[in-house]
Amino acid sequence: MDIGSGVIYSFQVRLPLDAKPHTLVLGTMASIESLQRGESYGHPHNAFWHIIGRRFGFERATTPYEDQVARLTGQGFALWDVLHSCEREGSLDSNIKNEKPNDIAALLARCTSIRRVCLNGQGAAGFFRKHIMTGEVLQLYEWTLVNDSARKVFGRHVASSSSSTSVAGRRAIELAVLPSTSPAYATLRFEQKLEQWTRDCFSLQ
C-alpha cells in the first residue's frame, strides 16, 4: 500500500491500563510520517507531544515514544482518531475522501468514565460532527461545549438536541475543539497552542 495515496488506516485506540480514561483526545487521521514511523503525531514538528511533554515533564526528543504514550494515558487520557480509514493524497485533512469513522460511540459506551472529548483541530471537529455527533451519540449524552471553537462547530447540533429530547439521567460529556498541533497550522505560535490545550484539555485532572 502507498500510504501517500491509497487507503490508509488509523492506529488502535490507546487507553490507560485501568481502561478508565476521563478524557478522550481525537485527531483526524495519522499523517504520512506518523504512519511511516508507527507513531501518533510522529512528525517531529507536530506540537502534540511537545505540549504533552511540557505538561507532564518529559522532553519529546529524548523520551521513547511508548514512554510518552504511557505518560499521557497514565494521567487518564485516551488517544485515538475520528477516522478509521480514508483515501488521502499527502497529509492534509482537506484531501481526505471516502472516509469511514472509528466506532467512537462504542468506546463512549464502554468507557463510562469519559467526561470530556477533545478534538485536535478543525478537521477532526468537522469529521466528528459529520460522522459521530449524530443520532445516538448526540441524544444519549448531555453535551457541554467548553470553548468558543466548540460552540462554533457544534452549537446548533447541541441546541437542537437539547430542545427536542429530554432524557433523564443523561451522562454529561464536555466537548472542546483545540487548535491543531499540526505544523501545517501556523496561525498560532506554540505557546498559544499550549495555553489553549492546558486550559481546555488538561483542566479535568
Q: What is the pLDDT of residues 26-42, one digit of tens each?
A: 999 999 999 999 999 99
Pairing assessment for the beta strands 83-88 and 7-9 based on DSSP bridges: antiparallel
pLDDT recorded at residue 157: 81
In the block, which residue shows the cell 490508509?
A: 8
Q: Would residue 72 count as lying in a domain?
A: yes
CA distances from 10 to 69, 82, 100 (A): 16, 9, 10
Q: What is the pLDDT of residues 115-167, one digit of tens each?
A: 999 999 999 999 999 999 987 888 899 999 999 999 999 998 886 565 555 55
Q: Would residue 161 count as lying in a domain?
A: yes
Residue-range definition of the domain harbouring residue 16: 7-200
Q: Rg (Cα) of the chain, in Å, rounded?
A: 16
pLDDT recorded at residue 90: 82
Q: Would residue 2 count as lying in a domain?
A: no
pLDDT recorded at residue 67: 97
Pick the closest to residue 23 from 157, 111, 155, 117 (CA basis).
Answer: 117
How many domains is the chain partitioned into structurally?
1
| CATH code, domain carrying 87 | 3.40.470.10
pLDDT recorded at residue 10: 95
Q: What is the pLDDT of residues 79-114, one digit of tens each?
A: 999 999 999 888 787 789 999 999 999 999 999 999
Q: Would residue 1 count as lying in a domain?
A: no
Whether residue 58 has pLDDT greater than 80? yes
